[in-house]
A = this chain, B = another copy of it.
Amino acid sequence: MHDLGLRDRKKRRTREAITEAAFALFQRSGFDSVAVADVAAAAEVSKPTLFAYFPTKEDLVLRRFLDDDPGPAHVVRGRPSGMSALRALRQDFLDRLAQRDPLTGLNDTPPATTFHSLLYSTPTLMTRLTSYLLERERDLAEALLTSGGVSDAFTARIVAAEVFGAQRILAEHNAQDIRAGHSADDTYPAAVTRTETAYDLLENGLDTRAAS
């Protein structure tokens, strides 16, 4: 009758203990200054157990926010008929801004802020995040192709790369505003404007000027 057995409940608790210990330590001393052995000790777990839950040190930080993100491929596949893929992605990003999704950068509450400050101050975290995004970019390309958003595989890959490029810059810009001290509510209008600008550029063309 129980949804989760005792075993799975324990696993969930251990996992949470590890991420909590990790975030606490990383926030205090910085990502690089904390050894995974310290995290394991703080979570009262052995080192191999920690690595059974999280494949790398970086995942201690990233998985917490990436795990429950369905990703843009899901958005494209689930878009209402009659809507273009690019429109659906734009709308999805705007929705996530409104919801203060940490992955848009526009979130000023503690777990997300430490996430971002760790992220943008630790190259290896940025790097690992980028790997994840590249995976999802491939998923998006496939979704574009199979759900009829685009004519051929090459165009699908290009479009997917452009969308991820834009979202990356948008998120970075938002997070930067938050880290500069602005509240999420105050930045929201500007964030929306930037999103519209970015997607307008994608839809209508970049149009750079001539040299002086």
CA distance A86 to B7 in the complex (A): 58
What residues of chain B lie closer than 8 Å to A83, measured between beta carbons? 210-211
Of B127, B154, B159, which is within 8 A of A208 by CB? B159
Closest B residue by C-beta to A88: B211
What residues of chain B lie closer than 8 Å to A84, measured between beta carbons? 207-211
- Chain A residues 96-123 with CB under 8 Å of chain B are 123
A202 beta carbon closer than 8 Å to chain B = yes
What residues of chain B lie closer than 8 Å to A161, measured between beta carbons? 165-166, 168-169
Known: A81-B210, A161-B165. A197 touches B147 (CB 8 A): no
| Pair B154/A211 contact, Cβ less than 8 Å | no
Spell out A's residues near B (CB within 8 Å).
79-86, 88, 123, 126-128, 130-131, 134, 144, 147-150, 154-155, 157-159, 161-162, 164-166, 168-169, 172-173, 194, 197-198, 201-212
9 smallest beta-carbon distances between A and B, as pairs? A161-B165, A85-B208, A165-B165, A205-B205, A148-B212, A149-B208, A86-B208, A81-B211, A204-B205
